[in-house]
Structure 1
C-alpha cells in the first residue's frame, strides 16, 4: 500500500521481446568484441541472440562462446561484450515495439505503476531508458523502479518479488514473452500476461496481448 493506506497496483515488464528487440545491435556489438579477442572468424548473429534472450548472462556465454575455454577466458569475453553492449545500445538503441511509451503513459493515467525486471547485465535497462530519454526512478516518472540479475545476481522470480515488496504493491502482474518469464512469475506468486508478438510461446493458457497497446484492456481484467 502507499503511505495513505491505499491499494497500489503495478505492472512489471520484461525487456527483450516484450518492450523492445535489441538483438540486431547486441549481435553487432558482441561481434566486435569477439573479433577483438582474436576469434576473427566468428560472428554473433541476431538469431544467436534471440535464441538466448531472457537467460542470465553466464548461461548465454556458455551457450554462445563454446569456442572459448570455460573459466577466465570465457568470463573476460563475456564482460567485454556486456560492457560494450551497454555503450552501443545507449548510442544506437534497438527496435521499440509500437505503442510502448504511449501505453505506459496511459496506464499511469489509469492509476497503474510501471516497473522493469530483466535477467540482463547491470546497465542494460539504463541503456534502454537513456536512449529513449525515459525518466525513471521516482513515483512521478514513467518507469518508477528497475531491477536485474546483473545488479544482485537474484533469479527473475526473486527480483519480481523484490520490486513488488520494495514499492509496496498490493496487486501486480508481470508481462513477458517466453516460458521462463511465465515460470518465474508463477513462482513469484503473481499473474502473468503473455506478449505473443515476442520470442516465445507459453505452455499454459494465460492472458495475452498481440500488440502492446492491448494492455490497456487486458491489465484491468487481470489485476482490476
Structure 2
C-alpha cells in the first residue's frame, strides 16, 4: 500500500523546521495517519526505514509511556563507521527525520508545552558494534603461546610491563612500571597501582606481548597491550 501525503503537511523535514519568534514549533509529517495504533505505526515506520536506508538493518521497538507512545529504531548494522560522535549524530538526525514524517509535534519552549503523536528515538544497538568489530578484525593480535596459568607462574617481582597500546585517552599509555608483587588475582605495580588478571579467554601472551581484552558492548575489541620486560632478560 502506498502512503498518501497528509493535507497541510510540512514542506521541511523535522530537523529543518524552525521555531517562530514566539517560541512555537509546529511540524506536521506528510505520512501521518491519525487513526494508526502503535503496532501499525511501528510496522509502517519499519518498512519506510528499510526503503530509505536499504544498507542498514534496524530493530524497531515500542514503548507505552505514561505521557504517550514511543518508537525506537535501533541500528543493528550499517556500512558506515559510526565510532565518531559526529557520525552518530548525523545518522540519528537522518533516521529521526524519517520517523517524524509519520507524526506531528506542537510545542512552545517559553510555555513548556509539548504535544506530539509519538516520541521517537534512534540509537545504536550492541549488534552494530559486534558487526563493526568483525569487519575490522582484531587489532594487535597476539599468539596465545603462554596460558594465563603459565604466565602467573613465570612472571616475577622485578619484571616490568610497558603499556604499548590502549583505548584512546588512557593515562598510562607508553609508561613502563615495575612489578613489585605477584598475587593470585593481580599484579601490584610501582606507583601504588595494580593489574587484575582477566578471565583466561580474555588473555593472550606470546612470551613478550601480553594482550588483555576488556571489550564492552560498544567496543568489543577494546584491550590493553603490554610488553613484558623480564628482569632476567635485562
Larger helix fraction of residues: 1
Q: Greater relative contact order (Cα 8 A, min sep 6): structure 1 or 2?
A: 1
> What TM-score, normalized to structure 1?
0.24
- Asked which structure has the greater CA Rg, the reply is 2
